[in-house]
Amino acid sequence: MNLLSAYTSKAGESVIWRSKGPAGDDGEPTYTNTTIVVIWIDESKKIWNSREGDPQQQAYIQTSSAVEKDDIIIKDGFSWPVISTHVPPCFDGEPLRTASLGQKMI
C-alpha cells in the first residue's frame, strides 16, 4: 500500500465520477459512471480562466483518478461539474490530481 492509498482509506469519501466520453449517434456526449475515492474540500473562490471568464469554485477534490474538465462528480445526490484540473509534478508513485468543482446541481 502506498502513502496515497493509506491516506485516502482514512480520509477519503466515495463519490460517483461521471466521465465524459465521445458523442453518441444523437450527437450528445456519452458518460461512464465509476465510484472513486476522493479527498473532499469545501472552498469557494474564483478560478481565473482567460477564455471563459472567472468561474466560481464551490469545492475541490483530490484524487488519483484521471478526472478531467467537463466531467461530473456526484455526492449526496448532487452533481458538481468539474471546471478545471491541475496535476502537479509527480516524481515517483501516483499523482494526486486536484479538480475544482463548480455550482452543485440537482
Residue pair 59/42 in contact (Cβ under 8 Å)? The answer is yes
Model pLDDT for residues 15-49, shown as the tens digit of each residue: 999 998 898 899 998 999 999 999 998 877 666 65
* Cβ atoms within 10 Å of 83's Cβ, excluding its own: 20
How many angstroms separate the CA atoms of 77 and 34, rounded?
A: 15
Domains of the chain: 3-101 (2.40.10)
Residue 32's Cα: distance from chain center in Å? Answer: 14
pLDDT at residue 73, rounded to an integer: 95
Question: Whose grid coordinates read 471563459?
Answer: 52
Model pLDDT for residues 59-94, shown as the tens digit of each residue: 889 998 899 999 999 999 999 999 889 888 777 767
Residue 104 reports pLDDT greater than 90: no
pLDDT at residue 96, rounded to an integer: 82
* DSSP per-residue string spanning 22-47: EE-TTSSEEEEEEEEEEEEEEEEEE-
